[in-house]
């Protein structure tokens, strides 16, 4: 794509053309307005095949709400999926299931301050489904019921959504929003609204909000996809032309709230106990810049270039010794339809807050005074692949001028978990930089050294190797090569996307291969090596080199595998292979100065995680499920201190040095001859391993983790002190999959059954807990087998299935009970035939969509290499076809009885005989905890007095402490 873009001819625009909006008609978009005022835009595309994306866009968001309506725009979005004049709740859900969509509000719709959008992806091969989709949109547009019963069911999920937004990130965002929009109606109109209104708004108020604002004049239907556009225009006209609001009065105009400027900067030090990082934000508010003419488009490109160049500068500064910040970025944030802001964000350590602020402001000032260098502009253009480049060869100062030094409309905010600076300190830094600029004291930034043009240094060109063996796998359409250094390369050419090549490399053996004592240090190998530079280049040099290229290579190490991952544009494939060559042929050496910064950063990340309630919960969960297996134990600050960086890097170097251990898969837009030439030149050129490298180890010989799901029932509350009360609930069941053999090879049918059963559970629990009882927002059911050694000789593989949801802390225990009894009911009575059909449809629709994506085929290559079948027969086609056959066999056998049998066979029977139930709950106040302890110490008849005894004791101790003479 990039190459094609560069080949596009230049066009000359007249001054009039620069300033006129381009016509959208001729480009294939059919658009118009129906008799009732509703607009439509229809555009036919060829990919993905047989799918259409349709949306109803309502130009009504939370900003039109009155004070007593705060949150109603979003509630209406929820109610739309509940019931309308023509559809009962079940009908809409059934329709969504028939098109293979996950159902419900916030899955297929969103509400912002300025708009509410409903989106559906529909199979377009069946005109009936498309027609029905338009009927559903027509109902959303003017026939949502908004009855008291509907509202009652939706209050719980919306409230849960409200609660989920109250974590430390959500609180910081809310504070940011209010600060930046202070003085505008937007400041008090976050779409989620107010708790009291979610809990108590009467149905008639909701209904009148809906009828007042949902008017055809304020709505548009947008349709794109693989279809005949004329037919679609006719269809949508028929279905939507009749929509009218139930309110006969004329449609109210949509009010617009423009930017409210302020002359003085605003400062805020925001403290949040659970804050994960110390952040410094500087925002410059401006009115939204429309992009309707070529000239306006050009101006938006200039802004992108400026941001790219600044971000590259910030990245380099972050790599200095003792840097003012770990990282910093500049970007644009579209806040509302009328207001946007340019935001600079830096993360730093506590005692560097003011230094970080000064550094980012000084950089801006430096661009105002000295401009960007040609080199910087050149690489920013390469990065943005712009044809407007000649305009930017001159030093460009204009854009930074707009971020005025006079600080009007500027908002400066820090976020930290305790107070380290004051608002006055922030103001002082802003003035300091202003003064420096006024006095001509802003320095020219360091001139950049020229970036290398190749990953491989001149004179060290690789010695091409050979392809020694080739094998085709016709069913997968893939070819496997064995290279002279014993590396395997498997590739599949597709025409699904012309601009994508996916890469994954795999080697059996990961962190379980080192001893328990060395495990922590080894687990930091990848992180530290990435910070030092993986390819014999420092990260800042690497950034320079790769700017403008779409090719990235990253590495990972898990319990049992080492992997290489990446995605390249076809034109940059050669660079990608050079990176892989360099990964194997260069060694990472720790550089003390950079290590210090890196270790300091890791310390802060670890500390932040300890403040994060969700993290504490997840840690405890793993510890319990894996019965305190060392690999899953929570990580402490003390352990971080014991990490040996030299050993970590040495471990990394050993992990990625022997080409014979690796199989590399490539999927996408490949040209066979060119690709094989490049493979010989770079991958086959990696020298075979010497004696310092580990010898390849077959996957069945890997060291297994010793873990065991606890027996019986384990229930535990994880109490953590939190700023806002919230709760997370988890029920985990042990699952053992028998590995049957058919025709002498392992059969994966059981794992297909498990996936099907998990999908069924998720659908049923969602129906029960969300749609029937209105208690939760969402439920997830996920299997996990990551702890089991991949090809062990056992005849089964052990894992678990986790059911998770968030809820009101007071309801957690009751909801866990409800969920358990639903699983039990399904084990005893089985699902209905319809339930099974729903799950099969969901599965089939996503299967069809996935087949049009490179990632589907790529994952098939990768999972074949990981599979037991491949390990036994070394045939990728066999591994693939057996997986497909297993899926088809299970689909053919699936019915109410067989799914029930699978649920009984795979899960503990009865399900409540063995599980781990964990709830995250807010820490009770100290007094309550003391009362509980005292209660347990007293004989039962005395317990009612416990509260008073404890309270008196606490008061006495407090008095002693406070009144102590100093």
What residues act catalytically? 77, 154
Closest-CB residue for Zn ion? 106
> CA-CA distance, 530 to 814, in Å (whole number)?
46
Greatest alpha-carbon span in the chain? 94
Q: Which residues contact 495 (CB under 8 A, 6 or more apart)?
A: 669
> Minimum CB separation from Zn ion for residue 190, in Å?
13
Cis ω before 48 (30° cut-off from 0): yes
Q: Beta strand 478-483 with 779-784: parallel, antiparallel or unpaired?
A: unpaired
Q: Considering beta carbons, is residue 225 or 774 the nearer one to Zn ion? A: 774
Residue 563 main-chain phi, psi, to 5 deg: -140, 155
At residue 761, the 3 state secondary structure works out as helix
> CA-CA distance, 680 to 677, in Å (whole number)?
5
Q: Note the helical H segments in 586-660.
A: 592-611, 613-625, 637-641, 645-655
Binding to Zn ion, residues 868-897 (CB under 5 A): none
Could you tell me which stretch among 156-164, 266-274, 409-417, 823-831 binds Zn ion (CB under 5 A)?
156-164
Q: Considering beta carbons, is residue 161 or 540 the nearer one to Zn ion? A: 161
> Minimum CB separation from Zn ion for residue 106, in Å?
4
Could you tell me which stretch among 81-89, 90-98, 154-162, 624-632 binds Zn ion (CB under 5 A)?
154-162
> CA-CA distance, 215 to 49, in Å (whole number)?
33
Could you tell me which stretch among 101-109, 245-253, 504-512, 528-536 binds Zn ion (CB under 5 A)?
101-109
Binding to Zn ion, residues 791-820 (CB under 5 A): none
49 secondary structure, DSSP code: T
> CA-CA distance, 290 to 294, in Å (whole number)?
11
> Minimum CB separation from Zn ion for residue 704, in Å?
44
Could you tell me which stretch among 157-165, 567-575, 789-797, 814-822 binds Zn ion (CB under 5 A)?
157-165
Give the H or E element holding residue 951.
helix 946-963
> Minimum CB separation from Zn ion for residue 117, in Å?
12
Q: Considering beta carbons, is residue 161 or 358 the nearer one to Zn ion? A: 161
> Minimum CB separation from Zn ion for residue 304, in Å?
32
Q: Is 164 in the site for Zn ion (CB under 5 A)?
A: no
14-19 long-range Cβ contacts below 8 angstroms, 24+ apart: 17/294, 18/293, 18/294, 18/295, 19/293, 19/294, 19/295
- For Zn ion (CB under 5 A), the number of binding residues is 3
> CA-CA distance, 55 to 831, in Å (whole number)?
33
> Minimum CB separation from Zn ion for residue 87, in Å?
19
> CA-CA distance, 159 to 193, in Å (whole number)?
10
Q: Is 106 in the site for Zn ion (CB under 5 A)?
A: yes
Could you tell me which stretch among 160-168, 577-585, 661-669, 830-838 binds Zn ion (CB under 5 A)?
160-168
Cβ–Cβ under 8 Å, residues 855 and 502:
yes
At residue 717, the 3 state secondary structure works out as strand
Q: Considering beta carbons, is residue 104 or 576 the nearer one to Zn ion? A: 104
Q: Considering beta carbons, is residue 162 or 662 the nearer one to Zn ion? A: 162
Q: Considering beta carbons, is residue 105 or 754 the nearer one to Zn ion? A: 105
Q: Considering beta carbons, is residue 107 or 431 the nearer one to Zn ion? A: 107
Q: Considering beta carbons, is residue 161 or 788 the nearer one to Zn ion? A: 161
> Minimum CB separation from Zn ion for residue 404, in Å?
39
Cβ–Cβ under 8 Å, residues 241 and 169:
no
Q: Considering beta carbons, is residue 191 or 908 the nearer one to Zn ion? A: 191
Could you tell me which stretch among 82-90, 97-105, 234-242, 895-903 binds Zn ion (CB under 5 A)?
97-105
Kindly report the length of the chain. 966
682 secondary structure, DSSP code: I
Written as six digits, the tokens of 961 are 């402490």
> Minimum CB separation from Zn ion for residue 571, in Å?
42
210 secondary structure, DSSP code: H
Dihedral angle of Cα 618, 619, 625, 631, to the nearest 10 degrees: 130
- Match 């208690």 to its residue by tokens: 775
- Residues 413-452: x/- map of binding to Zn ion (CB under 5 A)? ----------------------------------------
- Residues 344-383: x/- map of binding to Zn ion (CB under 5 A)? ----------------------------------------
CA-to-CA dists, residue 179 to 68, 491, 609, angstroms: 22, 53, 27
> Minimum CB separation from Zn ion for residue 51, in Å?
25
* DSSP letter string, 321-366: SS-S-SEEEEEEEE-SSSEEEEEEEEEE-GGGHHHHHHHHHHHHHH
> Minimum CB separation from Zn ion for residue 779, in Å?
15
Could you tell me which stretch among 145-153, 161-169, 239-247, 936-944 binds Zn ion (CB under 5 A)?
161-169
Given CA atoms 394, 399, 400, 405 in this order, what sign does their dihedral have? positive
Q: Considering beta carbons, is residue 161 or 843 the nearer one to Zn ion? A: 161
Residues near Zn ion (CB under 5 A) are: 105-106, 161
């Amino acid at each position: 794509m990039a190459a094609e873009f560069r080949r596009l001819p230049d066009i000359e625009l007249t001054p009039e053309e620069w300033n006129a909006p381009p016509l959208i008609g001729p480009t294939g978009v059919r658009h118009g307005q129906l008799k009732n005022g509703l607009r439509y835009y229809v555009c036919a595309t060829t990919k993905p095949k047989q799918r259409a994306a349709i949306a109803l866009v309502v130009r009504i968001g939370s900003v039109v709400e009155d004070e007593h309506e705060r949150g109603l725009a979003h509630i209406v979005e929820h109610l739309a999926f509940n019931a309308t004049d023509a559809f009962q709740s079940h009908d809409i859900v059934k329709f969504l299931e028939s098109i293979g969509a996950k159902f419900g509000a916030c899955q297929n719709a969103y509400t912002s301050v300025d708009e509410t959008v409903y989106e559906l992806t529909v199979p377009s091969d069946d005109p009936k489904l498309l027609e029905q989709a338009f009927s559903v949109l027509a109902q959303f547009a003017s026939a949502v019921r908004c009855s008291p019963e509907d509202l009652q069911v939706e209050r719980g999920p919306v409230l849960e959504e409200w609660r989920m937004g109250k974590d430390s990130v959500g609180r910081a965002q809310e504070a940011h929003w209010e600060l930046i929009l202070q003085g505008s109606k937007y400041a008090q109109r976050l779409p989620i609204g107010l708790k009291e209104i979610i809990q108590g708004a009467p149905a008639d108020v909701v209904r009148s909000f809906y009828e007042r604002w949902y008017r055809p004049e304020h709505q548009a239907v947008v349709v794109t996809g693989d279809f005949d556009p004329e037919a679609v225009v006719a269809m949508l006209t028929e279905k939507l032309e009749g929509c009218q609001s139930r309110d006969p009065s004329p449609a109210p105009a949509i009010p617009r709230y423009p930017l409210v400027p302020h002359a003085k900067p605003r400062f805020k030090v925001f403290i949040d106990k659970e804050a994960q990082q110390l952040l410094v934000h500087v925002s410059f508010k401006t009115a939204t810049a429309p992009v309707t003419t070529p000239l306006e488009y050009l101006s938006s490109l200039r802004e992108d270039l400026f941001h790219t160049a600044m971000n590259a500068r910030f990245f380099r500064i972050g790599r200095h010794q003792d840097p003012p910040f770990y990282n910093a970025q500049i970007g644009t944030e579209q806040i509302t339809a009328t207001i946007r802001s340019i935001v600079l964000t830096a993360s730093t350590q506590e005692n560097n807050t003011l230094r970080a602020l000064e550094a980012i402001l000084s950089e801006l000032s430096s661009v105002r005074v000295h401009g960007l260098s040609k080199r910087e502009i050149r690489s920013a253009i390469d990065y943005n692949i712009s044809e407007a480049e000649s305009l930017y060869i001159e030093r460009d100062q204009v854009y930074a001028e707009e971020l005025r030094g006079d600080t009007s409309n500027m908002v400066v905010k820090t976020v930290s978990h305790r107070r380290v600076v004051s608002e006055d300190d922030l103001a002082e830094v802003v003035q300091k930089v202003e003064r420096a600029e006024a006095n001509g004291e802003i320095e020219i930034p360091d001139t950049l050294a020229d970036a290398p043009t190749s990953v491989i240094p001149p004179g060290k060109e690789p010695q091409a190797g050979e392809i020694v063996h080739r094998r085709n796998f016709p069913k997968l359409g893939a070819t496997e090569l064995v290279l002279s250094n014993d590396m395997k390369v498997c590739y599949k050419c597709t025409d699904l996307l012309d601009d994508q090549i996916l890469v994954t490399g795999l080697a059996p053996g990961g962190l379980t291969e080192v001893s328990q004592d060395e495990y922590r240090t080894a687990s930091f190998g990848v992180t530290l090596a990435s910070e030092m530079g993986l390819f014999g280049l420092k990260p800042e040099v690497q950034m320079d080199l790769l700017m403008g290229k779409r090719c990235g290579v990253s590495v990972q190490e898990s319990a049992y595998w080492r992997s290489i991952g990446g995605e390249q544009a076809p034109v940059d494939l050669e660079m990608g292979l050079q990176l892989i060559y360099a990964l194997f042929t260069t060694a990472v050496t720790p550089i003390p100065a950079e290590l210090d910064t890196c270790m300091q950063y890791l310390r802060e990340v670890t500390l932040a995680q300890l403040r994060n309630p969700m993290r504490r919960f997840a840690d405890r969960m793993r510890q319990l499920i894996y019965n305190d297996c060392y690999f899953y134990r929570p990580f402490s600050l003390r352990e971080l201190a014991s990490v040996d960086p030299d050993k970590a890097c040495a471990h990394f170097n050993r992990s990625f040095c022997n080409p014979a251990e690796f199989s590399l898969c490539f999927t996408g837009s490949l040209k066979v001859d060119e690709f094989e030439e490049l493979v010989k030149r770079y991958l086959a050129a990696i020298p075979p391993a010497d004696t310092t490298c580990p010898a390849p180890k077959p996957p069945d010989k890997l060291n297994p983790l010793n873990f065991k799901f606890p027996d019986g029932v384990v229930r535990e509350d994880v109490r953590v002190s939190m700023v806002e009360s919230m709760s997370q609930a988890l029920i985990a069941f042990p699952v053992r999959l028998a590995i049957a053999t058919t025709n002498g090879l392992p059969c994966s049918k059981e794992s297909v059954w498990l996936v099907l059963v998990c999908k069924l559970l998720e659908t049923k629990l969602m129906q029960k807990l969300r749609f029937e009882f209105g208690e939760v927002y969402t439920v997830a059911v996920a299997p996990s087998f990551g702890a089991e050694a991949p090809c062990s000789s056992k005849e089964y593989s052990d894992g678990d299935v986790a059911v998770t949801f968030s809820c009101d802390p007071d309801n957690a225990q009751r909801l866990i009970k409800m969920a358990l009894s639903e699983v039990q009911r399904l084990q005893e009575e089985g699902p209905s035939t319809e339930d099974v059909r729903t799950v099969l449809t969901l599965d089939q629709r996503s299967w069809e969509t996935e087949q049009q994506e490179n990632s589907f085929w790529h994952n098939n290559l990768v999972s074949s290499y990981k599979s037991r079948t491949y390990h036994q027969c070394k045939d990728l086609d066999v591994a693939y076809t057996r997986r497909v056959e297993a899926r088809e066999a299970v689909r053919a056998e699936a019915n109410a009885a067989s799914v029930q049998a699978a649920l009984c066979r795979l899960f503990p029977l009865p399900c409540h005989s063995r599980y781990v139930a964990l709830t995250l709950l807010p820490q009770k106040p100290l007094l309550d905890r003391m009362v509980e302890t005292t209660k347990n110490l007293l004989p039962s008849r005395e317990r009612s007095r416990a509260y008073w005894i404890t309270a008196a004791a606490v008061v006495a101790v407090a008095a002693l402490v406070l009144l102590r003479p100093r």
